Amino acid sequence: MTDSTIAQPQADDKARNQWWDVWDQFKSHKGAMAGLIFLIFITLFCLLGPLLWSLDPGKLDIRNKDLRPVYVALWDGSAKTSWANPMGTDNLGRDIMANIMQGGRISLAVGWTAMVLAILIGTTIGVIAGYFRRLDGLLMRFTDLVLALPLLPLLLVMMLLFRDPLRAAFGPENGIFILIVAGIGITSWMQTARIVRGDVMALKEREFVLAARSIGTPSRRMITRHLLPNVLSPIMVSATLGLATAIITESALSFLGLGFPSDFPTWGKILFDNVDRMTRFPERVLFPGLAISLTVLSVNYIGDGLRDALDPRIRGQ
């Protein structure tokens, strides 16, 4: 009791990093906190799950095919269930929980890598366009052009065209992974580039940039030390949006049959494979569908919370 009353003023007196303020504001957003917790949970579930649940997702077990999830036994005593496969098995006897874990690994990996790629391209183009006036017109016209392209059809075409060459070059799984990540990355950087360019152009007129320039800071250090840290918050917000769209796009490609080959499960692929049998086995569509939807929902909520937390006008109210 006495300890805490003494410790309290000291903690406040200590110089606080601004990220602690951001975190405090972020914590007050309930949806964002719930989203963050769910995202951590699903990531751990997919990453560490296979260590605890050592069933091979591709192992066929025809004798135990078409098992229902264990909870079905609650209202339907005659259903085939087994605690060895708590989420049931598919029509070839593959364990659904192991598949969801493996599919989640791939889906999340695609989402994160594609998002990082899109943010890298977008930030680079945005900073260059905003900082170097001579390149601005050219780069922004290019951005407008890419925005005018019909992206989903082009993505589908790209999938079909480059699938076989990349598969031959990098092996079936890596080839498709590179293709999907590159496809999503190069079709979703435009919003980031526009936002970053606008912010950089506004920052360039500020006094601290003038001060830095007057002491002879070269352009490279100007960008990395003074401009990039100041445009970090819009980049982070568009990164969360990018993660959500990347996960949805990957699932949509898999759903249209143009994503990963059939022996590599992703959430979208599992959903697509089981749509035909969903009247008898609704759980096989429900589990991957819920996994996609809840992940995207939580990422969107995190984005909402981040936007509020990173805005100094809202923070501290």
Residues of this chain that interact with other proteins (CB under 8 A) are 31, 144-145, 147-154, 156-158, 160-162, 164-165, 244, 248, 251-252, 255-258, 268, 271-272, 275, 278-279, 282, 285-286, 289, 292-293, 296-297, 300-301, 304
Q: How far is the CB of 25 from other proteins (least distance, A)?
A: 17
Long-range contacts of 217-225 (CB under 8 A, 24+ apart): 219/131, 219/132, 222/131, 223/127, 223/131
The answer for residues whose C-beta is within 8 angstroms of residue 115's C-beta and 6 or more apart is 239, 242, 243, 246
Q: How far is the CB of 292 from other proteins (least distance, A)?
A: 6
Query: What single-letter amino acid sits at 246?
Result: A
- Between 186 and 200, name the residue whose CB sits nearer to other proteins: 186
Output b/e per residue, 75-112; b: 16+ Cβ within 10 A.
Answer: eeeeeebeeebebbbbeebbbbbbbbbbbbbbbbbbbb
Which residue's CB is nearer to other proteins, number 72 or number 151? Answer: 151
CB 298 within 8 A of CB 35: yes
CB of 247 to other proteins, least distance (A): 9
Smallest separation, CB 160 to other proteins (Å) = 6
> In this complex, which beta carbon is closest to other proteins, that of residue 113 or of residue 254?
254
C-beta closer to other proteins: residue 35 or 123: 35
- CB within 8 Å of 128: residues ≥ 6 apart: 135, 139
Least Å distance, CB 303 to other proteins, is: 10
Nearest distance from residue 171's CB to other proteins, in Å? 18
Name which of 44 and 145 has its Cβ closer to other proteins.
Answer: 145
For residue 234, the SS3 value is: helix
In 3-state terms, what secondary structure has residue 187? coil
Return the structure tokens found at 314: 């809202």
Task: Please identify, using beta-carbon distances, which residue of 129 and 248 lies nearer to other proteins.
Answer: 248
